[in-house]
Amino acid sequence: MLAPWAWFTNAGSQNAPAAARDPRSAPSLDDSPLRKRGWNAPHVVACLLVATTAVLLSFGALVTTYEAAMAVPDWPATYGHNMFLFPLSEWLGGPWDLFLEHGHRLLGALVGLITLALAALAWRAAVGPTVRWLAVAAVVLVVVQGGLGGARVLLDDTTVAKIHACTGPLFFAVAVALAVLTRRSGVVPVPRVAAGLCAAVPVAAYAQLVAGAQLRHLDPATPPRMFHALVGTHVVVGLVVAGLAVAAFLATRGGGNRGARRWGLIACGLVTCQLALGVGTWIAKYGVPSAILPDAWRMAEPIVARSGPGAVIVTSHAVLGMMILGVGVALALTAAGTVPASVRSGAQPAAFARGRGVPA
């Protein structure tokens, strides 16, 4: 019997033998020239989507750091121009905040087009229903995210900005899941306890991002008690993410799933960097409490969050949190194991019929 999470991984895109294909499946791209040359088109487009979304999230983080969301006060136009026809000289030669906000919009449109292309491929290629419906979810999320971005500008509302900051990483997680699930080769799942620890990493990482979004878009009128509670939650959940990453890596070391071990090690490295960036972000935004350091160690000039060094630290902290979420998704899905297409399409050999779809 399959484990509860095993259905989520039955989406490998390896070609199944002709006799094993489901005649009721959608039209396949398996015989296309690209597939004959070794191309896995859904996987390539999914990886492109992940890379483009990472750049988009980085621009979005910079927009928040420099408080540039209202640099373009109209939407979907840009100062009365069609967004795609806004003069290049004014964009590249204009103020920094205009460059960030307009670039963020253009990247969002590009991500939307790539998402539509991936959804079209997913519904034509020989992939499982999980990939197809995840592609549909990605289309819905990118439309919602674009609408939230427009509402944030038109309403100039902090609450909308917080929601917008939470749905962006969620879309990134779906994109990473699509990239992982469209791989051709299957992997052996890790034991149940290890798989559970790996699955907990992205859940905790997303909770950490939600808490961070509240601090990034903090209302100046927020009471001190609420601020302290948000900071405490952010720190505690961050430590939970670090602990889960280490536990997941240690739990996957002894098995045959090298991919899970690799993703676990990457997660540990990113979390270590993130903890250091978290301290740096606090210093950049709020300074060092005077009672902590002796006089000789105090900085002569404070770092300002929107200065060059401060912006790099603060923005890197936000972006790295989203990358940890993506790595956590890859870790969880790789640890759960992906079933080759020959098994997914119905030709289930005895080796995959026992346990959780793991070869005996």
The full DSSP string for 227-244 is HHHHHHHHHHHHHHHHHH
Residues 157-169 pLDDT 10s: 888 999 999 999 9
pLDDT greater than 80 at residue 45: yes
Q: How confident is the model at residue 198 (pLDDT cuts 50, 70, 90)?
A: very high
How much is the pLDDT for 30?
43
Q: What is the mean pLDDT of residues 55-68?
A: 93
Give me the chain's average pLDDT, please: 81
Structure tokens at 128: 């499982």
Each domain of the chain, given as residue ranges in start order, spans 1-15+37-185, 187-288+301-340
Q: What is the pLDDT confidence band of residue 148, given thresholds at 50, 70 and 90?
A: very high
**In the predicted structure, residue 138 carries a pLDDT above the cut 60:** yes
pLDDT of residue 189: 81
Q: What is the pLDDT of residues 278-328, one digit of tens each?
A: 998 888 877 766 555 555 444 444 455 566 788 899 999 999 999 999 999
Q: What pLDDT is stored for residue 22 in this prediction?
A: 46
Q: What is the pLDDT of residue 254?
A: 75
Closest listed residue to residue 135, CA positions, set 89, 81, 179: 179
State pTM to two decimals: 0.80
- Provide mean pLDDT across the span 215-221: 84
**Which string of DSSP letters, residue by residue, matches 73-107?**
-SSSSBTTB-GGGS-HHHHHHS-HHHHHHHHHHHH
pLDDT surpassing 60 at residue 240: yes
Predicted confidence (pLDDT) at residue 40 exceeds the cutoff of 50? yes
Residue 110 pLDDT: 97
- The per-residue pLDDT for 113 is 97
Say what the pLDDT of residue 211 is.
Answer: 92
Q: What is the pLDDT of residues 241-263, one digit of tens each?
A: 999 999 999 998 877 788 889 99
How much of the chain, in percent, has pLDDT values that exceed 70?
Answer: 76
> How many H-runs (helices) and E-runs (strands) does the chain carry?
12, 0
Q: Which residue has the higher pLDDT, 13 or 193?
A: 193
Q: 11 versus 224: which is more confidently predicted?
A: 224
The mean pLDDT of 69-73, rounded to a whole number, is 90
Q: Which of 201, 191, 199 is nearest to 256 (CA)?
A: 191
Q: Which residue in this structure is represented by tokens 């509402």?
A: 151
And the tokens for 139?
Answer: 């289309």
Beta carbons within 8 Å of 61's beta carbon, 6+ residues apart: 315, 318, 319
pLDDT of 338 above 50? yes
pLDDT higher at 295 or 133: 133
